Structure 1
Amino acid sequence: MGRQYLKEVIGLPGLKAAPSVNVPAVVKEVIESIRKEGDVAVRRYSEKFDKWSPQSFRLSQADIDTAIANCPKQTLDDIKEVQLNVRAFAEAQRGSIKDFEVEIRPGVHLGQKNVPIDNVGAYIPGGRYPLLASAHMTILTAKVAGVKNVIGCTPPINGEIPYSTVAAMHLAGADEIFLLGGVQAVAAMAVGTETIRKVDFLAGPGNAFVAEGKRQLFGEVGIDLFAGPTEILILADETASAFTVATDLISQAEHGPDTPAVLITTCPELGYSTMEIVNRLLTSSDLSTAAVAKTSWEAFGEVIVVDTVDEMWELGNQYASEHVQVFTRNPRDALERMTNYGALFLGEKTCVSYGDKVIGTNHVLPTRTTARYTGGLWVGKYLKTCTYQEVTSDQASGDLGRLCGRAARAENFEAHARSGDLRANKYKNDEIGWIEKSQVANGSRL
């Protein structure tokens, strides 16, 4: 029968037209201004973009206590329970990363240490939605990794402190919390100001300006990943429920108007039923985000029918989606068949929303097919895997010296070779032509 596209991407009207705002230029101006003027520029851009200019952007302990006091008890209890899940998984990840030392030959010791980054800046978005779950994923994970200092920045919402987000940041372990949003927050953390410590690494999602800021600052600081719109891919066979598939596609489409929501299935009936249910749910339900989800689904939703399960896996790997849900008779087959994905969600009892909000795995994941070469944010992103070497045997150092001399001269690196020659001379009594007698101390070898 061949592959059938029951629904294809059409894109948003005018998507290819020139943008009204030159995002890279705006971001570059903000970064350079903050680099030159520090806090003065931070305040200017906060007033311009967020209408926010408090006496201090940094929240005091009293401010944090007030935020926590203003959170409903159930919200605080839920934050704590979710963070227990995130912490448990992050600690398991950290436990899987081992330091080691090995003696590869007598007297030659090689080792590896996983050293936490000193200073991390976490950006917690607050525009369309206050994504307090991002506090768990970025701040808490960094603290489990052993990061000494984590700064958290989140914007005000309608000129007010987002109490729940602040509570989540504090409970996650943030050492300093700033009520500061947008690219001005990212730039201030990356370059440092009079009141904001310069960090070594930036983590957390954000809008197009935040994402561009991280792109321009990458190299000067590390970043978690280059993020694009949220993505969901569902791989399903005839055993899947069309209502569940439709509900889960919509759950991600509500993130924004440009979210790819894709179904690949071996069952045409499931494809048609899913499209009918999606359209019905988006037009007849009381979904508060229906307008955004409808725009996203109409522009970027896809439904594809393939002939075989093998073709389903193959096409799924080509999409390399951020989130991949698997609704098949044997969903754990995906662990062997899928190689390109940000995170897998196996079976109908789980869903992407669990990963986004509560289950414990990290929700900062690769998008735009970057899952072909990288995974998402995890404890290991906050660690520097560093090596060390020690030679304790005279014989081993002399043997390595001879080997180094030959290997370096094969590459025309004479000075490298001479470092090896010195050890061969000292520990193996090799006669080295370039070493003059006057360089030998008291008539002995160097």
Structure 2
Amino acid sequence: MAPRHLKSPSTTTNGTSSTATDVPTIVKSVIDDIRANGDSAVRQYSEKFDRWSPSSFKLSAADIEAAIAQVPEQTIKDIKEAQANVREFALAQKDSLKDFEVELRPGVRLGQKNVPINRVGAYIPGGRYPLLASAHMTILTAKAAGVKHVVGCTPPIAGKIPNATIAAMHLAGADEIFLLGGVQAIAAMAVGTETIPKVDFIAGPGNAFVAEAKRQLFGEIGIDLFAGPTEILIVADGHADPFTIATDLLSQAEHGPDSPAVLITTSEKGGRQTIQYVDRLLEKLETAAIAGVSWKAFGEVIVVEDLDEAYALADKYAFEHVQILTQKPREALKKMSNYGALFLGERTCVSYGDKVIGTNHVLPTRKAARYTGGLWVGKFLRTVTYQEVTSDEASGKLGQLCGRAARAELFEGHARSGDLRAHKYLNDQYEWVDHGKETEIEP
């Protein structure tokens, strides 16, 4: 039986159209202006887009203390608990990456080291929602990797300091915090200005303008990944609770009006009940104005013959978040390969991953899960290698091999580097060809 749609998306553009704002052109003009004019351009765009122009975009220690003092004690405790989970998992990831040295052949030593990036910029969004958790995922993870200096940027919200976000950024370990958002924040960190330091790498989610800024600046700096709208896909069998499915689908649909929410189920009855529950939940959900648009435009409910077909179809979607609501959820670990993060069983929900459980919520979207994972401690590390040859015989033999291998590729200069070692350490005599004339290597 071919998959059947009980609900199809009303659009397949994923939030883009030919009449959409020319985001790339706008972003390029902002980047070029900031590159040329530094702080004055940053201030101009902050005034234009955020109506924010303080004497200094950088928060002082007193500013940070004042912001934290405004945050409820329970919120501070919750931030610390969530950050403890993220830190513990990030450090476990780091421990899985080992420096090593191996003697490949007698006298030939090869090694690997994991070296932290020197300066990282972390962008913490704040447009529609104050995303405290993004501070945990970017700043704290960078610090767990050993990054020495982390610059955090977050925008004001309605012309005010987002106190809880500032608290999260400070507690995560940010070395500098700037109240600055949008393309102007990304560009300022990437190119550097009179007051905002240039970084080597930028991490963190954001809207279409922020994502485009990261795309255009990639290469000049490193970035975590190209992020699009949040996605959720649920694989369910006939035992799954339709109310739970509906609740979890809407938990991600509320991220934005272009966030796909998809159910693949072996139960037609369960699929129809899920649609009914979504409609009922939207009647009272505080974020229904966003989630409802997303569900109507991009929501899908698909019925398949069995779970093998469900897993295969889910792999084709290659979504950011994949939730498994089946009797044997761990089967998905063997049956699936294309996902940003997997959430196994009814006791586990995507919202845990977004906010508190400890894994990173910056994940691949738009089928990027086919070729990359999400943000993790390793993104803030550079795996570098080193080589040392300590034996005359080993160097000479490598020189002989290098000479032959390089000439097979017509790289005469490479070959001569090898020849020289073969001559020095094995006393080889080679005839070098130079402009058609043959001359013997002189000792």
TM range (shorter): over 0.9
Q: Show the counterpart of 2:7.
A: 7
Unaligned ranges ≥5, structure 1: none
User: Counterparts of 1:228-239 in structure 2 under 5 Å?
Assistant: 228-239=228-239
- How many residues align? The count is 439
Q: Show the counterpart of 1:361.
A: 359
Could you tell me how far apart the structure 1 residues matched to 2:65 and 2:19 are? 42
User: Using a 3 Å threshold, how does the CA distance of structure 1 residues 140 and 14 change in structure 2: closer, same or farther?
Assistant: closer
How far residue 193 of structure 1 moved from its aligned partner, in angstroms, is 0.5
Q: Show the counterpart of 2:215.
A: 215
TM-score by length of 2: 0.97
TM-score by length of 1: 0.96
2:298 to 297, 300, 311: 300
How far residue 365 of structure 1 moved from its aligned partner, in angstroms, is 0.2
Could you tell me how far apart the structure 2 residues matched to 1:4 and 1:225 are? 33
Q: Cα deviation per residue 1:89-121 (whole Å; 9 max; x = unaligned)? A: 000000000000000100000000011000100
User: Using a 3 Å threshold, how does the CA distance of structure 1 residues 180 and 251 change in structure 2: closer, same or farther?
Assistant: same
User: Using a 3 Å threshold, how does the CA distance of structure 1 residues 81 and 30 change in structure 2: closer, same or farther?
Assistant: same
Could you tell me how far apart the structure 2 residues matched to 1:227 and 1:138 are? 14
Q: Show the counterpart of 2:279.
A: 279
Could you tell me how far apart the structure 1 residues matched to 2:374 and 2:170 are? 23
How far residue 14 of structure 1 moved from its aligned partner, in angstroms, is 12
User: Counterparts of 1:412-423 in structure 2 under 5 Å?
Assistant: 412-423=410-421
User: Using a 3 Å threshold, how does the CA distance of structure 1 residues 112 and 12 change in structure 2: closer, same or farther?
Assistant: closer
Q: Secondary structure of 1:240's partner?
A: coil
Q: Cα deviation per residue 1:267-314 (whole Å; 9 max; x = unaligned)? A: 11110010011011112x2x2101111111011000000011110110
Indicate yes or no: 2:193 matched with 1:171.
no
Could you tell me how far apart the structure 2 residues matched to 1:151 and 1:367 are? 25
Give the aligned residue type for 2:10: I
How well do the aligned residues superpose, as a CA RMSD in angstroms? 1.6
Could you tell me how far apart the structure 2 residues matched to 1:256 and 1:181 are? 18
User: Counterparts of 1:83-98 in structure 2 under 5 Å?
Assistant: 83-98=83-98
Could you tell me how far apart the structure 2 residues matched to 1:17 and 1:379 are? 36
Give the aligned residue type for 1:367: T
Q: Show the counterpart of 2:199.
A: 199
Q: Show the counterpart of 2:189.
A: 189
Q: Show the counterpart of 2:311.
A: 313
How far residue 147 of structure 1 moved from its aligned partner, in angstroms, is 0.5
Q: Secondary structure of 2:178's partner?
A: strand
Q: Show the counterpart of 1:402.
A: 400
Q: Cα deviation per residue 1:315-367 (whole Å; 9 max; x = unaligned)? A: 01001000000011100001101100000000000100000000000000000
Q: Show the counterpart of 1:33.
A: 33
User: Counterparts of 1:10-89 in structure 2 under 5 Å?
Assistant: 10-11=10-11, 17-19=17-19, 21-89=21-89
Q: Show the counterpart of 1:254.
A: 254
Choose 332-341 or 6-15, whichever is displaced more.
6-15
User: Counterparts of 1:359-398 in structure 2 under 5 Å?
Assistant: 359-398=357-396
Q: Show the counterpart of 2:348.
A: 350
User: Using a 3 Å threshold, how does the CA distance of structure 1 residues 3 and 402 change in structure 2: closer, same or farther?
Assistant: same
Q: Secondary structure of 1:299's partner?
A: helix
User: Using a 3 Å threshold, how does the CA distance of structure 1 residues 13 and 413 change in structure 2: closer, same or farther?
Assistant: closer
Choose 336-345 or 13-22, whichever is displaced more.
13-22
Q: Show the counterpart of 1:291.
A: 289
Could you tell me how far apart the structure 2 residues matched to 1:251 and 1:3 are? 25
Does the 8 Å contact 2:429/2:440 carry over to 1? no
Give the aligned residue type for 1:221: I
Does the 8 Å contact 2:431/2:439 carry over to 1? no
User: Using a 3 Å threshold, how does the CA distance of structure 1 residues 423 and 251 change in structure 2: closer, same or farther?
Assistant: same
Q: Secondary structure of 2:432's partner?
A: coil
Could you tell me how far apart the structure 2 residues matched to 1:282 and 1:292 are? 10
Does the 8 Å contact 2:115/2:382 carry over to 1? yes
Does the 8 Å contact 2:430/2:440 carry over to 1? no
Indicate yes or no: 2:242 matched with 1:242.
yes
Q: Show the counterpart of 1:325.
A: 323
Q: Secondary structure of 1:120's partner?
A: strand
Could you tell me how far apart the structure 2 residues matched to 1:319 and 1:297 are? 17
How far residue 16 of structure 1 moved from its aligned partner, in angstroms, is 6.2
Q: Secondary structure of 1:198's partner?
A: coil
Could you tell me how far apart the structure 2 residues matched to 1:202 and 1:439 are? 51
Does the 8 Å contact 2:253/2:261 carry over to 1? yes
Percentage of identical aligned residues: 71
Q: Secondary structure of 1:195's partner?
A: coil
Could you tell me how far apart the structure 2 residues matched to 1:39 and 1:439 are? 60
Could you tell me how far apart the structure 1 residues matched to 2:17 and 2:328 are? 44
Q: Secondary structure of 1:43's partner?
A: helix
User: Using a 3 Å threshold, how does the CA distance of structure 1 residues 14 and 382 change in structure 2: closer, same or farther?
Assistant: closer
Choose 3-12 or 214-223, whichever is displaced more.
3-12
Give the aligned residue type for 1:317: D
Q: Secondary structure of 1:199's partner?
A: coil
Could you tell me how far apart the structure 2 residues matched to 1:115 and 1:365 are? 23
Could you tell me how far apart the structure 2 residues matched to 1:107 and 1:12 are? 59
Give the aligned residue type for 1:262: V
Q: Secondary structure of 1:434's partner?
A: strand
How far residue 20 of structure 1 moved from its aligned partner, in angstroms, is 5.2
Q: Show the counterpart of 1:162.
A: 162
Q: Cα deviation per residue 1:152-191 (whole Å; 9 max; x = unaligned)? A: 0000011111000000000000000000010000000000
Unaligned ranges ≥5, structure 2: none
